[in-house]
């Protein structure tokens, strides 16, 4: 089980990463030209790599994000979607809400 102190540290990192992804995601999806969209994509990939590296170092966080009840295969499928450009913003928002709920308990 993850401690509240560790959970708070993980939450702070993920929240910062989520905030860091908002502008690049907006540019990637809604940029007015290809150059802006490409730059947004590249910036978003940097945030994703940072999150992936952090979570690889904290398996307890990986379990929390992917769900404790799934098989390893199910977790890996979820993680691949979670860390993709297409779903990251939505899934990270959901993960942050889940962690917020755990911190309040």
d(CA 62, CA 24): 24
DSSP class of residue 98 equals: H
Q: Please, which residues have CB within 8 angstroms of residue 6's CB and are 6 or more apart in sequence? A: 60
For residue 79 the two structure tokens come to 């993680």
pLDDT in tens, 83-97: 999 999 999 999 999
Mean pLDDT, the chain, rounded, equals 95
Distance separating the N- and C-terminal Cα atoms of the chain: 14
Domain ranges, ordered by start, for the chain: 4-104
pLDDT in tens, 9-44: 999 999 999 999 999 999 999 999 999 999 999 999
């Amino acid at each position: 089980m993850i401690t509240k102190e560790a959970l708070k540290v993980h939450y702070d990192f993920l929240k910062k990463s989520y905030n860091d992804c908002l502008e690049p995601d907006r540019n990637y999806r809604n940029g007015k030209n290809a150059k802006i969209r490409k730059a947004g994509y590249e910036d978003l990939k940097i945030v994703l790599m940072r999150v992936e590296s952090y979570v690889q170092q904290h398996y307890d966080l990986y379990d929390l994000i992917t769900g404790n009840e799934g098989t390893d295969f199910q977790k890996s499928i979820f993680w691949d979607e979670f860390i993709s450009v297409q779903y990251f913003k939505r899934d990270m928002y959901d993960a942050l809400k889940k962690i917020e709920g755990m911190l309040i308990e």
